[in-house]
Structure 1
């Protein structure tokens, strides 16, 4: 029985399958995922789930009964090992599964610390899957020493959870500042101060020389020669797109699985969406790692698999929760040359990124109004006078006119 096969049962895969059924596709639909769990949300893993505030069932993207009701065949805990583009089949263990059209929503995986520096020691963790969190949760006990390697959003979120649970938290970032790759110095300063207020020690411009311990990690030697004791370590050193399956099948790879503006790969019968896919964007090519992109791109791919022929117009947005601060990000700040701060008496802060006279992005901390209006301005191509943005008396909504 042929039909549509989706490889990857995460946010993008689930959104694609659901959209196909919503659009009226009644053919065979199979989704294959290498995790045993039903499709679930990843963002709460490093926050609510690790804190014990969210159950596994609450993470599910759809109720278990949904998939049966929609006649979606779920192959969970199963790994696709090969794609035969000529025969139009995928290999799952000893079984060959045929397809008319194939969607790759394989996502991304965390980069791990090298074994040569102790990255394979027990007590060293990554943050990506339910299994990752379940493995580290018993170690999150008040009084223990937690070392975070990497000062991006994942590392900072893990640091916040550790501090809330009463662990002694240290974070090491080899770049000159935390969030250097993704945010302005002003945003880095904000979050450095926030974490300091909660007792987190941040070591910037400091690399990890090696982890110490034999049967289990006990600490770390840093590039400046200093040492840190650690009962557990979390590596938050980025992710990489899961492209091996596509590469082995001979598909074009460029920053990820290379797709056209509709989400089609270099094989007309194979599509890609989510963290694993790169796509045309403003004269270049990008790959976005976000829930918003995974859903929006997957839904466009679903439409195009059924013949819609629609281009995907990305509208980048992201978020991060740390302590009682919600950071909301709109746009992409690549190439900014000016930051315009907006500070409110309520404590809400936003930083607006300009490239020349053009507004291209903003970071909003506990300022949902600034985020929502800024996002609309960016998507509409409107760039208000920076003086109006920085004036807390300005009614931001008036800038939309």
Structure 2
């Protein structure tokens, strides 16, 4: 098969899957080559910390396409292979084996990698991260009654894993450096609500603490050494397993090696094109120019799907650009939540509905406002409202109207 007119996609994740699907659906008839480091075909990652980890879903349900779909759509797949470099002059990618694959269009959808702890003992057996299917399976095996699970980091993934571990009967401690979990995103009131909810479910949530070392015996973790971050006495928290959830870093090595601009991700325009007219980037790795919000890198499921479709449209020369608001969701205990927009913990937070601090069954909507303008909105256990909330982002609306449940969201 001639590759001289091929679209090569490096990184076989969610953005890549939707790029491939859209290219074929919208008329790209030339070869497509999909290359991924994992042995698995593209799958959706959110379930790794939700349904699969809880034992409610099988990992098989996460795959974007059936196994036979790629061959049926004339997509060459190279799973379990690594791209070592990009020869921009020759328009070829170089595999670890030395093989070269030519491209007419190249999409970098290399995603992100979990950040690791840079402290003594971080490489001990039993210190885990959650990014891939194998990670989820390894963590799920540890979530049994009485198992001492320590989470380092109280971000979204860390809290989802904490909830899954408690529901499985494990003893759970969460260690967070900030004063409250998710404080920079949610603001103080909602961060306190999340903290109280986890504590009400039996999580030993410790905030304002620094992790200084991972302790071990015979090569396996036995505990985590913590301090208060201000010179107080250290304590060792016993652990049978430690799960690190301190964020992710974009996998930009290929772009850097090829001399493409990189700044908290691969820098691309509103059409997801890099400074090289034959190279695009999409998904978690792309720091893309959002038409409303400016340069923005988003690591969420919805964005990967949308950017996968957009990058295909861009390659095909179709209209469209990166103009949507970020969206994500989470499920923890009885709490189900959807968030849209780009708010900040420093914004004014307006609550509509019944927020009972620490009660996971509370049903309410939160709005973030800056100088009266809605920057973000979140529904918690108030379903079928996200489209109405999305329509309010960017509008100036008096806080009293946002609070007033007698006014329909569609009438605000």
> In structure 2, which of residues 255, 261, 267 is the aligned counterpart of residue 252 of structure 1?
261
Q: Which runs of 5+ in 1 are unaligned?
A: none
How many angstroms does 1:363 deviate by? 2.2
Contact 1:359 1:382 in 2 (8 A): yes
How many angstroms does 1:337 deviate by? 3.1
Contact 1:187 1:363 in 2 (8 A): no
Match of 1:328 in 2: 338
Contact 2:121 2:213 in 1 (8 A): yes
Does structure 1 residue 358 correspond to structure 2 residue 373? yes
CA deviations over 1:309-356 (Å, ceiling 9, x no partner): 532213211111111211110100048531111124983122110011
How many angstroms does 1:370 deviate by? 4.3
Q: Tell which deviates more after alignment, 172-181 or 133-142.
A: 133-142
Does structure 1 residue 220 correspond to structure 2 residue 224? yes
Match of 1:398 in 2: 411
Q: How large is the Cα RMSD of the aligned pairs?
A: 1.6
Does structure 1 residue 147 correspond to structure 2 residue 150? yes
Task: Please give the alpha-carbon distance, in whole angstroms, between the structure 2 residues aligned to 1:208 and 1:332.
Answer: 29
Assess, with a 3 A threshold, how the Cα gap between structure 1 residues 39 and 337 changes in structure 2: closer, same or farther.
Answer: closer
Match of 1:104 in 2: 108
Q: Tell which deviates more after alignment, 281-290 or 138-147.
A: 281-290
Q: Tell which deviates more after alignment, 309-318 or 228-237.
A: 309-318
Q: Which runs of 5+ in 2 are unaligned?
A: 229-233, 356-360
Task: Please give the alpha-carbon distance, in whole angstroms, between the structure 1 residues aligned to 2:138 and 2:212.
Answer: 25
Task: Please give the alpha-carbon distance, in whole angstroms, between the structure 2 residues aligned to 1:133 and 1:55.
Answer: 11
Match of 1:280 in 2: 289
How many angstroms does 1:130 deviate by? 0.7
CA deviations over 1:61-107 (Å, ceiling 9, x no partner): 11112111111111100110111001111112231111111000000
Assess, with a 3 A threshold, how the Cα gap between structure 1 residues 47 and 335 changes in structure 2: closer, same or farther.
Answer: closer
1:310 partner SS = coil
Task: Please give the alpha-carbon distance, in whole angstroms, between the structure 1 residues aligned to 2:318 and 2:110.
Answer: 23
* 1:159-170 paired onto structure 2 within 5 Å: 159-170=162-173
Contact 1:123 1:136 in 2 (8 A): no
Match of 1:209 in 2: 212
Task: Please give the alpha-carbon distance, in whole angstroms, between the structure 2 residues aligned to 1:312 and 1:50.
Answer: 32
Assess, with a 3 A threshold, how the Cα gap between structure 1 residues 335 and 195 changes in structure 2: closer, same or farther.
Answer: closer
Does structure 1 residue 262 correspond to structure 2 residue 266? no
Match of 1:45 in 2: 48
Match of 1:66 in 2: 69
Match of 2:305 in 1: 295
1:109 partner SS = strand
1:295 partner SS = helix
How many angstroms does 1:393 deviate by? 2.7
Contact 1:329 1:362 in 2 (8 A): yes
* Number of residue-to-residue matches in the alignment: 396
> In structure 1, which of residues 229, 244, 247 is the aligned counterpart of residue 238 of structure 2?
229
Match of 1:181 in 2: 184
Q: TM-score, normalised by structure 2?
A: 0.93
Contact 1:335 1:355 in 2 (8 A): no
Task: Please give the alpha-carbon distance, in whole angstroms, between the structure 2 residues aligned to 1:10 and 1:36.
Answer: 11
How many angstroms does 1:160 deviate by? 0.2
How many angstroms does 1:56 deviate by? 2.2
Match of 2:24 in 1: 21
Q: Tell which deviates more after alignment, 64-73 or 342-351.
A: 342-351
How many angstroms does 1:299 deviate by? 1.0
How many angstroms does 1:369 deviate by? 4.1
How many angstroms does 1:177 deviate by? 1.2
Task: Please give the alpha-carbon distance, in whole angstroms, between the structure 1 residues aligned to 2:242 and 2:278.
Answer: 43
Match of 1:134 in 2: 137
How many angstroms does 1:24 deviate by? 1.2
